[in-house]
Structure 1
Amino acid sequence: MKDGIHPNYRDVCFVDLSNGFQFVTRSCAPTKEKITLEDGRELPLFKLETTSETHPFYTGQQKSVDNLGGRVEKFRNKFKVGIKR
């Protein structure tokens, strides 16, 4: 393999900024900060706005558009939108 053409693939600690959830995985994500974990390892730190711990889809808090008071049916009836049979 040629030197200098491959990305820096290493262990990276990802942190969810909304609740502090941390997980370590291998990544090429560019980082400027480092974090020291409880086990003493110092890893690059990548901050995230949301993860599976806080995203509404994964936490079960997401609401379906079809269940919001019949809005979809009202729209379809008003504009006669739908599947033609």
Structure 2
Amino acid sequence: MRLTAEKCRAEQARQLDLSLSDPLLNRRRIAATAAEAWGKEALRAEEYEADATAPLSQEDTEIAQEFAEEAKGEQGTHAD
């Protein structure tokens, strides 16, 4: 399952809060490191989400339509 940028940002905020409020220094350092990692993961997720929503080129759209039409035509010819 791929993480969403929204989930990553929420976890980053939670870890940042822990890095400021935890009573133990070691856990604050770990939380700060985790917040940084979640921020990087959020950037990757944003890039992925931006690519996933990019529209197909006209040529790719035509090719996809051809495949869909062929598949639709083959459905009617198969005798099970």
TM-score of the pair, normalised by structure 1:
0.31
Higher relative contact order, structure no. (Cα contacts within 8 Å, ≥ 6 residues apart):
2
The structure with the greater share of residues assigned to strand is 1
TM-score of the pair, normalised by structure 2:
0.32
The structure with the greater share of residues assigned to helix is 2
